[in-house]
């Protein structure tokens, strides 16, 4: 949703040559973008738009979708995942919700018939709104109605196909003046204490992830992998908005990168790392809503960083002035850093 985007070919070359980014996620299956990432080694996740979900339940349509949007780009482009919709349960659209799991299953069958199911997995990302409560983390559960009719069969499918459960945790949206340190990973003494597990939480992201884990465990699927499909922090907001500036965005995303790659894990999921996609590569100058909605980007269109972040291959990160150009490309970024960035 922007008018000033650099060409995908330039973006793909820049990411592969100059950054430590090794996975990207896009919100559609744009062929120009998929061609651009050919032979870069960067793994790509594509998306079936929400409005196509009912059609994907038809096997013939699903097979044609795979033939059009997947097969022509393999193996040059490393497609690893297809997401069916985005935050579908949050739409409250009964047609989309009722067709979500059947669409995922049918798309998987289409991949099986094309002998692609070992390398390309099917999933769908959820907002934390799928939880009816999340605090303390040990008491979290999925919303009644969705839990048994949608989430449980979805988890059965994900487990059987070895695909992850994908969530979009945003500490930014749960932040106030009183808990900013907690959201930014600043606290080392513990802010939230879970009386049930006797565990102490020193950052909001861990609490959100453990809430998801607890909800999965309640349904018997705690062994399904969790992937952070989307998180981030805006660098510009409306004048009166608290905690929205380049310094704070740099702190959240920088600490996020270090935390999820540290191997520490969370209190309920210790000693593990998480695939983590950061929203977003560029700003969205045409996106409606509050100012912050247009300002989640990490880079300007000239490929300089909006703020300092440990994602450049060279030791000196280039940070552009805020008055330079801005843009957005529908790509979300995942980090898997070498030890020098940890």
Q: Which residue out of 43, 87, 251, 284 is catalytically annotated?
A: 87
Do the beta carbons of residue 13 and residue 20 sit within 8 Å?
A: no
Partner residues linked to 82 by β-bridges:
46, 122
Asked if residue 78 lies in contact with residue 27, where contact means CB atoms within 8 angstroms, the answer is no
Query: Using an 8 Å Cβ cutoff, are 180 and 106 in contact?
Result: no
Backbone angles phi, psi at 6, to 5 degrees: -75, 160
SS3 content of the chain, % helix, strand, coil (to 5): 40, 20, 45
Phi-psi region of 41 (alpha: psi -120 to 50; beta: other; left: phi over 0): left
For 156, phi then psi, to 5°, come to: -60, -40
Task: Please indicate whether residue 230 is annotated as part of the active site.
Answer: yes
Number of alpha carbons in the 13 Å side-chain half-sphere of residue 213: 21
Instruction: Answer whether 125's CB lies under 8 Å from 166's CB.
Output: yes
Please say if 32 is a catalytic residue: no
Residue 153 dihedral angles phi and psi, to the nearest 5°: -65, -30
Q: What angle do CA 324, 329, 334 make, to 5 degrees?
A: 105
- What is the rounded CA–CA span in Å between residue 59 and residue 334? 31
Adjacent-strand bridge partners of 23: 43, 334
For residue 259, what are its two tokens? Answer: 């935390």
Q: Which of 230, 251, 284, 293 is catalytic?
A: 230
E strands of 6-152, at which residues? Answer: 21-26, 43-48, 78-84, 121-123, 125-127, 131-133, 141-142
Q: Which residues are catalytic?
A: 87, 230
């Amino acid at each position: 949703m922007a008018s000033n985007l650099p060409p995908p070919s330039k973006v793909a070359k820049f990411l592969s040559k100059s950054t430590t980014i090794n996975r990207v996620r896009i919100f559609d299956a744009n062929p120009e973008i998929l061609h651009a990432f050919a032979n870069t080694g960067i793994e790509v996740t594509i998306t079936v738009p929400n409005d196509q979900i009912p059609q994907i339940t038809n096997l013939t349509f699903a097979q044609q979708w795979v033939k059009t949007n997947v097969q022509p780009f393999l193996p040059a482009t490393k497609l690893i995942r297809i997401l069916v919709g985005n935050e579908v349960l949050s739409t409250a659209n009964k047609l989309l919700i009722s067709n979500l799991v059947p669409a995922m299953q049918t798309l998987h069958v289409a991949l099986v018939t094309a002998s692609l199911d070992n390398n390309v997995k099917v999933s769908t990302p959820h907002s934390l709104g799928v939880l009816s409560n999340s605090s303390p983390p040990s008491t979290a559960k999925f919303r009644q109605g969705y839990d048994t009719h949608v989430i449980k069969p979805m988890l059965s499918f994900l487990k059987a196909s070895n695909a992850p459960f994908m969530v979009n945790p945003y500490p930014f949206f749960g932040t106030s003046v009183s808990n900013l340190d907690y959201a930014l990973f600043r606290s080392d003494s513990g802010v939230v204490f879970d009386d049930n597990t006797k565990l102490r939480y020193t950052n909001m992201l861990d609490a959100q992830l453990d809430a998801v884990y607890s909800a999965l465990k309640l349904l018997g699927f705690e062994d399904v992998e969790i992937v952070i499909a989307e998180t981030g922090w805006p660098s510009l907001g409306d004048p009166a908005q608290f905690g929205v500036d380049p310094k704070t965005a740099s702190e959240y995303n920088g600490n996020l990168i270090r935390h999820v790659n540290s191997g520490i894990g969370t209190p309920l999921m210790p000693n593990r790392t998480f695939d983590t996609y950061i929203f977003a590569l560029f700003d969205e100058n045409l996106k409606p809503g509050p100012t912050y909605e247009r300002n989640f980007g990490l880079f300007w269109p000239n490929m300089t960083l909006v703020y300092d972040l440990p994602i450049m291959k060279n030791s000196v990160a280039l940070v552009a002035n805020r008055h330079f150009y801005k843009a957005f490309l529908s790509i979300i970024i995942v980090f898997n850093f070498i030890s020098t960035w940890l």
